[in-house]
A and B are shown apart, each in its own frame.
Chain A
Amino acid sequence: MTIRDDSSSCYNSSGQLDKNISRLVKLTDDSNTPGRAFTESLMKNALGELGRLEVKNENGKNIIIKSNWLEKTMGWAAMVAVACGALLAIVVSTILKMSFLLEVIIVLTMFLHWLTYLGERIL
């Protein structure tokens, strides 16, 4: 979160002495307001951070929209598949004259598969 941006390597070469002198000299400032460079630099960096967070949030929203769309489509497809399967089971069992019990088992199995899918979506 360093906000000071001075391109001069000479300024940075004296390291700790430079930092300490800076802190000492600032003690003699009677204005009771922060320096111009500090204010400008902080403003620039804070707004930059705000912009970066906005971009991140927008990307996050897009991902959520995509996943919602995908989930809805898959849900509808599953429901249609289950309905078609049930219908097919009834038709096939009627044509082949299968026992009523077998027909009920097939329909129940498909219904349970559908419930499992819905349960996963809700949880």
Chain B
Amino acid sequence: MRDGLERQSWAGFAQGNAGIWQEFIDREIIRLYGMFMRHWPNPSLAEELVQKTIFDDVRGRGSFDPSRGSPEEWILGIARNNIRLELRRRANRPSANGDLSHYLEVIDTEPLPDEVLEREETSAIVRLALSRLESKEQAVLKSKYIDGFSAREIARQMSTTEKTVYSLLYRAKISLRQELKRISALQKKGQLL
């Protein structure tokens, strides 16, 4: 009976039933995110790969064959393929061997390499730098980048205006950049951590 229901749901999946897809995506986002994070401890990259996998899944829906396995197994195959592509991409680009201070010098213009973000020391330096900011600056950065709130939502939470949130966010980013540079320079000299 359960198998029959599952098969029915798989057919709905293949036919593009919105309700079944909504449930499926909701479930899979968390599973895929965990899977990518186990490979590379880099939340931004994990989000990118989850997004790519879900869209590959939606666009390739027509080639899903219920007789060859469940939708979960199918999306897992797509995710594994995206991991292979990411590994190949990394193998084909120059390695990021420099220390963090080197990359922080060009933080305004160059993207930080994933390999640098995935180092344990980077995470530790960011935590330390954040802890040295004012509490309001810490709060606005976390609300914006971790919780993903919009400026309007942050303004409502902080009982202030959107304009104030924008300027607070701007100041917080500049302060964090300065702290990061300072801490990484100290670390390079061996005076920290």
Binding site for B on A (CB under 8 A): 1, 3, 6, 8, 10-11, 14, 16-29, 32-39, 42-43, 46-47, 49-51, 53-54, 57
Is the CB of B79 closer than 8 A to any CB of chain A? no
Contacts of A19 in B (CB 8 A): 111
Whether the pair A27, B126 counts as a contact (CB closer than 8 A) is yes
* Residue of chain B at shortest CB distance from A10: B166
Main secondary structure of the interface of A (DSSP, over half): helix
Known: A27-B43, A46-B54. A16 touches B61 (CB 8 A): no
Distance in angstroms between the alpha carbons of A3 and B21 in the assembled complex: 18
**Cβ of A81 to closest chain B Cβ, rounded Å:** 40
Whether the pair A50, B123 counts as a contact (CB closer than 8 A) is no
Whether the pair B127, A26 counts as a contact (CB closer than 8 A) is no
**Cβ of A20 to closest chain B Cβ, rounded Å:** 5
* Residue of chain A at shortest CB distance from B48: A1
**Cβ of B6 to closest chain A Cβ, rounded Å:** 20
Contacts of A16 in B (CB 8 A): 107-111
Distance in angstroms between the alpha carbons of A14 and B59 in the assembled complex: 33
Whether the pair B21, A50 counts as a contact (CB closer than 8 A) is yes
Whether the pair B146, A3 counts as a contact (CB closer than 8 A) is no
Q: Mark B83-117, 1 if CB is under 8 A from A, else 0.
A: 00000000000000000000000011111100001
Contacts of A32 in B (CB 8 A): 33-34, 37
Known: A24-B126, A28-B146, A46-B54. A18 touches B173 (CB 8 A): yes
Binding site for A on B (CB under 8 A): 16, 18, 21-22, 25-26, 29-30, 33-34, 37, 41-44, 46-47, 50-52, 54-55, 58-59, 61-62, 107-112, 117, 122-123, 126-127, 130, 141-142, 144-151, 162, 166, 169-170, 173, 176-177, 180
Whether the pair B43, A6 counts as a contact (CB closer than 8 A) is no
* Residue of chain A at shortest CB distance from B43: A26
Contacts of B51 in A (CB 8 A): 1, 3, 42
Distance in angstroms between the alpha carbons of A113 and B85 in the assembled complex: 55
Whether the pair B59, A53 counts as a contact (CB closer than 8 A) is yes
Known: A21-B173, A39-B29. A50 touches B16 (CB 8 A): yes
* Residue of chain A at shortest CB distance from B180: A24
Whether the pair B22, A33 counts as a contact (CB closer than 8 A) is no
**Cβ of B58 to closest chain A Cβ, rounded Å:** 5
Distance in angstroms between the alpha carbons of A17 and B61 in the assembled complex: 37
8 A–B contacts, CB within 8 A, in A order: A6-B151, A11-B166, A20-B112, A25-B145, A27-B123, A32-B37, A50-B58, A53-B59
**Cβ of A64 to closest chain B Cβ, rounded Å:** 15
